[in-house]
Amino acid sequence: MSAYPRPVAADATTPRPLNSQPKVRIDNVTMSFGAFTAVRDVNLTVADGEFLAIVGPTGCGKSTILNAIAGLLKPTKGSITLAGKPVNGVSHDVGYLFQQDALLPWKTVEQNVELGLQFRGVAPDERARQSRAWLEKVGLKGFEKRYPHQLSGGQKKRVQLAQALIVNPEVILMDEPFSALDIHTRHLMQSELLRLWQENRKSVVLITHDLEEAISLGDRVVVLAAGPASTVVDSFSVDLPRPRNVAEIMMDPQFMDLYRKIWSSLKTEVEKSYAQHP
Ligand SMILES: Nc1ncnc2c1ncn2[C@@H]1O[C@H](COP(=O)(O)OP(=O)(O)O)[C@@H](O)[C@H]1O
Ligand SMILES: [Mg+2]
């Protein structure tokens, strides 16, 4: 992780070459559960180093798409590639951050963080070394021996972040990771995420129903249609400068402009969805 040059801010604003191969490529993907088609004909690419945010009404298929990228669900039709390789079963090249608390309650913080390395056969000493380094990076030095129940909601999220990043994944997938946190903790965690992301700019796919979060974090916001048979309806690039202050960026006129534009697209879908399930 330390092989990338600093300073952080300069690296974060350096444009990537446009012709580099996409990290994630979703080609004409349809996902059905029996007779029910959740998403249909989804086409989406995520560039190397891009932070992509996906928004859409509840139940439109956001998690389904993310699970397909992770290789947890197999598309009914179409294909997905990750760093040029077809996704075929659970991928070791992704870091996954769930909404729900996914820590193992019987393991300590450092044992939880080490899990991904353990699955990959990394030796105990090296696991412990990296785990300690990551815990320090996410601000949890001194918490190594605690158990998950001894942590606050925000601290658990930090452990999950360390857990996702320690495996040095090609892509980080996040499914509404901060939605259960109070607003101040959420802003704090969003800042932490951006700070860590800017150190080496992995590709990120963030699912959220929170448009504010999508714009303040993303390079691009994609809007999904109301389900069933949801698909991509719009894509907006977010040209707000980085590094960003997530607690204040919504007061920026450029942010507000963008919010209005994207919301008018998203609102249509949210209303459709609500009409179906009042
Ligand atoms: N395993 C499953 N079996 C049947 N239907 C499912 C399954 N998983 C998701 N769905 C349905 O697919 C749709 C999309 O779900 P999901 O991807 O979880 O939505 P979102 O994450 O956008 O809220 C929903 O209608 C949901 O009920
Ligand atoms: Mg979901």
- The Cα 278–Cα 272 span in angstroms is 10
| Contact status, residue 70 vs residue 96, Cβ threshold 8 Å | yes
Protein residue whose Cα sits closest to atom 27 of ligand 1: 59
Retrieve residue 234's tokens. 């719009």
Retrieve residue 162's tokens. 């360390």
CA of residue 72 to ligand 1 center, whole Å: 13
Q: Which residue stretches of the chain have pLDDT < 70? A: 1-19
Please identify every residue whose CB atom is under 5 Å from ligand 2, which is an ion: 62-63
Mutation pick for ligand 1 pocket among 29, 42, 63 (CB with most ligand atoms within 8 Å): 63
Among the atoms of ligand 1, which is closest to the Cα of residue 57?
Answer: 22
**pLDDT score for 12:** 43
**pLDDT score for 87:** 95
Rounded to 10 degrees, the C-alpha dihedral 179/185/189/191 comes to 120
Q: What is the 3-state secondary structure (H, E, C) of 243-275?
A: CCCCCCHHHCHHHHHHHHHHHHHHHHHHHHHHH
**pLDDT score for 93:** 86
**pLDDT score for 2:** 42
**pLDDT score for 10:** 38
What is residue 49's three-state secondary structure?
coil
Query: How do 24-33 and 77-82 pair as beta strands?
Result: antiparallel
**pLDDT score for 278:** 74
- The Cα 178–Cα 180 span in angstroms is 6
CA of residue 4 to ligand 2 center, whole Å: 33
Pocket of ligand 1 (CB under 6 A): 33, 36, 38, 56, 58-64, 227
Chain centre distance of CA 8:
20
Question: Following DSSP, what letter does each residue of 57-102 receive, concatenated?
Answer: -TTSSHHHHHHHHHTSS--SEEEEEETTEE--SS-SSEEEE-SS--
- The Cα 271–Cα 75 span in angstroms is 27
CA of residue 40 to ligand 2 center, whole Å: 17
Mutation pick for ligand 1 pocket among 63, 64, 224, 276 (CB with most ligand atoms within 8 Å): 64
Protein residue whose Cα sits closest to atom 20 of ligand 1: 59
Domains along the chain with CATH numbers: 8-93+171-276 (3.40.50.300), 103-168 (no CATH)
Please name which ligand lies nearest the alpha carbon of 224.
1
- The Cα 222–Cα 229 span in angstroms is 16
**pLDDT score for 20:** 77
Q: How many residues are present in the chain?
A: 278
| Contact status, residue 138 vs residue 161, Cβ threshold 8 Å | yes
Among the atoms of ligand 1, which is closest to the Cα of residue 207?
Answer: 21
Instruction: Residue 177: name the closest of 138, 200, 205, 136 by CA.
Output: 205
